[in-house]
Amino acid sequence: MDRAIFDARYEEYRRAVEEFLDSLFLGTPHWQDLYASMRYSLLAGGKRLRPVLTLEFARQGGSDWRIALPPACALELIHTYSLIHDDLPCMDDDDLRRGKPTNHKVYGETLAVLAGDALQPEAFRLILTAPGLDSARRTACALVLAEAAGAEGMVAGQVLDTLHAPRTERELTEVHRLKTGAMIAGACRMGATAAGGDAALLSAAQTYAEELGMAFQIRDDMLDVMGDETTFGKPIGSDAQEGKVTFVDLLGLEGCERAVRERTEAAKAALAPLGGGGAFLLSLADSLAERKM
């Protein structure tokens, strides 16, 4: 896909997501400090990769992609809660996220925990009240998100990462298949589900996302070593300081570069059933393989 066309579509999706998220939690009850904490992290920017994937797979399913905005943004609420909790002293103990002080540094640990807690049920409220979806699709999307985020998905990956000290390539791959890949796969599957996509689209979404998620994580490990701190938005070398084994430790930078390219090509190959309609997703995979942040 032509770069200008790709950038324009990505920006259209990103802007729609930002506008939707900015419409949330605007009330002024006497617990509005909770809303302030939620919005602080929710509106902190970022690539909005996961909701973009949801919207594009809804388009691939033949629907107006806008019907998938509530589930796409629900996924971003879950992703944001996970980042708030990941940054806590009992987890990764990070002071910066996307170049800004982490939530608990601004609002304190108690409110940060509660903001993350609140974002989880609010995500499911968005899906279960989505105006463009019938009850069957709402339920199906909610199930996809629950599976991606729960005890056999993202949370399982976090447990393995923080409490089980993965050391081998097999162990690290399992961690990131769950911690990162499950939510990316959930994003792709939820878009296809919102659109009523067929089994072929759901299968393509799953395989594309699994390979894309691994490429994304390996690239993330590389950037933690060689990235620019200002661009990356958090301290470089934080994984090493925390004693974590990463793909760079196991494969080296050159090996990681090869692995990113192999995973990226596998993700692109999964889109063959979509024909020329998958051009945006092909370009997205290539852009993530070369990202600097």
Classify 95 as helix, strand or coil. Answer: coil
Strands 100-101 and 96-97: antiparallel
Measured between its terminal Cα atoms, the distance across the chain in Å is 22
d(CA 126, CA 118): 13
Residue 209 banded pLDDT, cuts 50, 70, 90: very high
CB count within 10 Å of CB 165 equals 11
CA distance linking residue 4 with residue 10, whole number of Å? 10
- Reference 247, options 260, 234, 235; nearest CA is 260
Crossing angle of the two packed helices 279-289 and 49-60, in degrees rounded to 10:
160
CB-side exposure of 66: number of CA atoms within 13 Å?
6
**pLDDT(292) > 70:** yes
Residue 97's DSSP bridge partners are 100
Q: With 90 as the cut, is the pLDDT of residue 243 above it?
A: no
Quick one: pLDDT band at residue 199, thresholds 50, 70, 90? very high
Closest CA to 168 of 226, 241, 251, 242: 251
Mean pLDDT of 55-59: 97
- Residue 193's identity, in one-letter code, is T
Q: How many CB atoms lie within 10 A of CB 287?
A: 15
Q: Quick one: average pLDDT of 168-186?
A: 95
Of all residues in the chain, the percent with pLDDT exceeding 70 is: 95
Model confidence at 238: pLDDT above 80: no
Q: Could you tell me how far CA 174 lies from the centroid of its own chain? A: 17
Per-chain mean pLDDT for the chain: 93
244 Rama sector, left if φ>0, alpha if ψ -120 to 50, beta otherwise: beta
Q: Using CA atoms, how far apart are residues 107 and 34, in angstroms rounded to an integer? A: 9
DSSP three-state, residue 97: strand
pLDDT tops 80 at residue 233: no
User: How is residue 167 annotated by DSSP?
Assistant: -
pLDDT at position 236, please? 57
For 266-293, what is the mean pLDDT? 92
The token pair at 141 is 């999307």
Instruction: Provide the 3-class DSSP secondary structure of residue 191.
Output: helix
Question: Taking the model in full, what pTM does it have?
Answer: 0.93
Q: CA nearest 57: which of 263, 201, 182?
A: 201
List of domains in the chain? 3-289 (1.10.600.10)
CB 12 within 8 A of CB 289: no
CA distances from 41 to 8, 101, 119, 272 (A): 25, 10, 11, 37
Give 86-132 pLDDT, tens digit per residue.
Answer: 999 999 899 999 889 999 999 999 999 999 999 999 999 999 999 99
DSSP, res 102: -
Task: Check residue 234 and give its pLDDT.
Answer: 55
CA atoms within 13 A on the CB side of 199: 0
- From CA 196, how far away is CA 204, in angstroms rounded? 14
Query: By C-alpha distance, which of 162, 202, 170 is closest to 186?
Result: 202
